[in-house]
Structures are given as C-alpha cells and as structure tokens.
C-alpha cells in the first residue's frame, strides 16, 4: 500500500475512506500506520514548542530510527534550544537541524530589525519555508502535530491531507494528533512524565520565534500569541495545505 499524494488526490473516495478509518484510531495507531505505509520517506518536523512533546514521544515509540527535523530560524528562544536538548536526550531522538542559508545577523542588516513586523510572510518564507524545501522534496509524507482545537484555522484538519509545495512537489500531510484536545495532551504528558517547555508556565501556549510570539490570555486560542495583531496565523509551512480545506 503506498497511498501517495497523487493517488489520494485523484481518488476522492479512497481519501475519504482512509480518513474515516484513521479517524476511529488512536494517535498511536495513526502514527504506526504512517510509519508502515511511508517508511523512510516519512518526515517529522518539530518546533520543540509548548505542544511538541506528545508527538515527539510517539515518534520515539514508533519511529526512533528516523530523524526529527528542527528548523533553527535564528530567532528562537534560548529556552526552546534547551528544551530540544532535554527532550532529545530523554527520548533518544536524533535531531537534524536545518538553518536558513543567510545567517540571522546578515538577514537583519539587509532587511532591517523590524522585518518581522513589516513583512512576516517574507521572513517566514526565507527562514522557515526555504530551508525545509529540499528535505520536503524527498518526502512522501510529512507528519506534524496540528490539532483541531488549537485555533479556528486548524479546526477542520484531517488526518491525511494530500498537498504540494509551490514547486509542485507532492506529499501527504499526516496529522496523528488532529483529534486530541488540550486536556488529552496534558493527560498524555502527565502519564509519560514529559517535561513542559520552560516558557509554558509564563502562558506561552504556542511557541515559535521570539519576535512573533507572546503569552496568551485566559480564554484565548492556544495560538493567539503567534503574530498577534499582524493578521497572520500560520508560518507558511502549513498554510498552503490548510487553505485547501477551509
């Protein structure tokens, strides 16, 4: 069974059937299915943010032989780097770090220290989307930790989502945690004694680059502190795929 992006895109009943079947399975079984189906062509990216530990723990149970790709934009919190090192050691993960071609300081000199406020889409394209592109080109499927209860833009996230990048490379996005709630995430972390991101205690509930992340008030979406006030909700890694299911 391959279930390539092309097959799933061209066969709507097959895609609906697979998604209906996976919807009934646990996150564990969904990830096990993806590992069995896509083998070495399965990619996991992680921001090592506030909600990353559950998927990383699942990965350590079902796909430890495969690397975890971490995008170091140059604008991450020191606490995120420390959390990455802590989780990687605890779970025995092999982390592959990707960095933008242009170092942070040169990028700032060329485009200005307020580039994240003036043009966050450009900054994300250069520092997040571009470094991942060569890796994504060789992947048949890409696992990420999107959950439906994180924000309005993620509320319709399916388990399998065939998509393509701007260069036309096709892959299947796999979202094993799509149905998990924030309460279930907390229960899972407690069950397996997973450490919290150090900034979570300061109400950073979704954590990316420091110029674009702020704490969240009571009652707000988990992702309300990302690019707050800038009319942007996704970094570009997932927005193309999510736009197709709105």
Distance, in Å, from the CA atom of 170 to the CA atom of 141, rounded to the nearest integer, reads 9
Which of 240, 33, 27 is CA-nearest to residue 148? 27
Distance, in Å, from the CA atom of 98 to the CA atom of 43, rounded to the nearest integer, reads 13
The helix (run of H) or strand (run of E) holding residue 171 is: strand 170-174
Least Cβ distance, residue 22 to ligand SF4 (angstroms): 30
Q: Which is nearer to ligand SF4, 95 or 108 (CB)?
A: 108
Distance, in Å, from the CA atom of 45 to the CA atom of 82, rounded to the nearest integer, reads 17
Q: Which is nearer to ligand SF4, 27 or 120 (CB)?
A: 120
Distance, in Å, from the CA atom of 73 to the CA atom of 103, rounded to the nearest integer, reads 9
Least Cβ distance, residue 119 to ligand SF4 (angstroms): 8
Which of 77, 98, 96 is CA-nearest to residue 88? 96
Rounded to 10°, the helix 53-62/27-38 angle is: 50
Least Cβ distance, residue 111 to ligand SF4 (angstroms): 10
Q: Which is nearer to ligand SF4, 123 or 141 (CB)?
A: 123
Contact set with ligand SF4 (CB under 6 A): 73, 75, 116, 120, 123-124, 127-128, 208-209, 211-212, 235
Q: Which is nearer to ligand SF4, 22 or 129 (CB)?
A: 129
- Residues 6 or more apart whose CB falls under 8 angstroms from that of 128 comprise 71, 73, 235, 236, 237
Least Cβ distance, residue 226 to ligand SF4 (angstroms): 8
Q: Which is nearer to ligand SF4, 128 or 238 (CB)?
A: 128
Which of 60, 67, 18 is CA-nearest to residue 44? 67
Least Cβ distance, residue 126 to ligand SF4 (angstroms): 7
Whether 124 sits among the annotated catalytic residues: the reply is: no
Q: Which residues belong to the active site?
A: 235
């Amino acid at each position: 069974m391959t279930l390539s992006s092309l097959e799933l895109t061209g066969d709507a009943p097959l895609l609906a059937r697979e998604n209906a079947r996976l919807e009934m399975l646990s996150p564990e079984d969904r990830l096990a299915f993806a590992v069995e189906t896509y083998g070495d062509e399965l990619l996991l990216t992680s921001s090592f943010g506030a909600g990353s530990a559950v998927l990383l723990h699942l990965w350590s149970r079902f796909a430890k032989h495969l690397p975890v790709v971490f995008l170091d934009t140059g604008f991450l919190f020191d606490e995120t780097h420390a959390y990455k090192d802590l989780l990687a050691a605890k779970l025995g993960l092999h982390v592959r770090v990707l960095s933008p071609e242009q170092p942070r300081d040169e990028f700032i000199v060329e485009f200005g220290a307020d580039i994240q406020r003036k043009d966050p889409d450009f900054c994300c394209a250069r520092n997040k989307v571009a470094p991942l592109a060569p890796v994504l080109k060789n992947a048949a499927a890409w696992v990420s930790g999107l959950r439906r209860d994180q924000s309005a833009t993620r509320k319709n996230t399916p388990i399998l989502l065939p998509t393509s990048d701007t260069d036309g490379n096709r892959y299947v996005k796999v979202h094993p945690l799509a149905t998990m709630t924030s309460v279930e995430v907390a229960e899972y972390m407690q069950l397996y004694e997973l450490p919290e991101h150090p900034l979570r205690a300061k109400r950073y509930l979704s954590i990316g680059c420091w110029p674009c992340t702020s704490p969240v008030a009571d009652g707000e979406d988990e992702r309300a502190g990302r690019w707050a006030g800038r009319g942007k909700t996704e970094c570009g890694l997932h927005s193309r795929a999510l736009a197709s299911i709105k």
